[in-house]
Amino acid sequence: MPDDAPGVQPIDPSGLPGVPDAFQRLWTPHRMAYLTGEDRAPDAGCVFCVAPGMAEDDSLVVARGELAYVVLNLYPYNAGHLLISPYRHVANYDDLTPEEMAEISRLMQDAIRALRAVSGAQGFNMGINQGSIAGAGIEAHLHQHVVPRWGQDSNFFPIIARTKAIPQILGEMRNQLRAGWPSGSTR
C-alpha cells in the first residue's frame, strides 16, 4: 500500500512512524502561564492599572507622566521593549483625551531617546494593537509598543524555534532606562 493512502501513516527514512518536519523544538513551558492567563490571579485586575501602583523595586515602570507611564514589557520582542499606557482604564485610542494623546506621544519620544542612549538602538517598531482581532493581548487597556531594533538583531530562533532570545534581565534594563531617561523629562 502506498505511503499516501488514506489511513496509512508515512514512515520516515529511519523507520519511525510519522515524517518529522524540518523544525527543531525549543520547549518553553513557562510561556503557558502567559498564554492561559494562569500567571494572573482572577481578582488581580488589569495589569496596566495595577503596575503604576506597585513599589518601585517590584515594578517594571521606567518613567511616569501625569496622565500616562512607560513600563517594560514582561514578554518582550526585543531587549528594551517598552509599553506606554494611560493611567486611565481606556480601551480605544479614539477615547483618549487630547492631553493623554499628547503625553503618550511625548513619552514615546523620550522612550526612543532613552533607548538610543542606553542601548544604541538603531531603529524602532512602534504601534498600537487595538482589539483582540488586531492582535492586542490585553485589549481592555490601550497601550503603545516601542520595540528597539538593531542591525543583525534577527536570528534563527524566532523562525525555527518560535523563541526570542533576550540578552538582558528586565530589572537591569529598567534601571538603565531610568538612569538614561532624558533630563528634564518626567521620571
Inter-residue contact 150 to 77 (CB < 8 Å) = no
Q: How far is CA 49 from the centre of its chain?
A: 17
- Distances in whole angstroms, Cα of residue 68 to Cα of each of 61, 63, 158: 11, 9, 31
CA angle 33, 149, 116 (to 5 degrees): 110
Is 143 one of the annotated active-site residues of the chain? yes
Which DSSP string do the residues of 19-61 spell out, in sequence order?
---S------TTHHHHHHTTTS-TTS--HHHHGGGS-TTT--E
Q: Which three cell numbers stand for residue 128?
A: 498600537
Which listed residue (81, 141, 143, 145) is catalytic? 143
Residues forming beta bridges with residue 146, ordered by sequence position: 82, 126
Residues known to be catalytic: 143
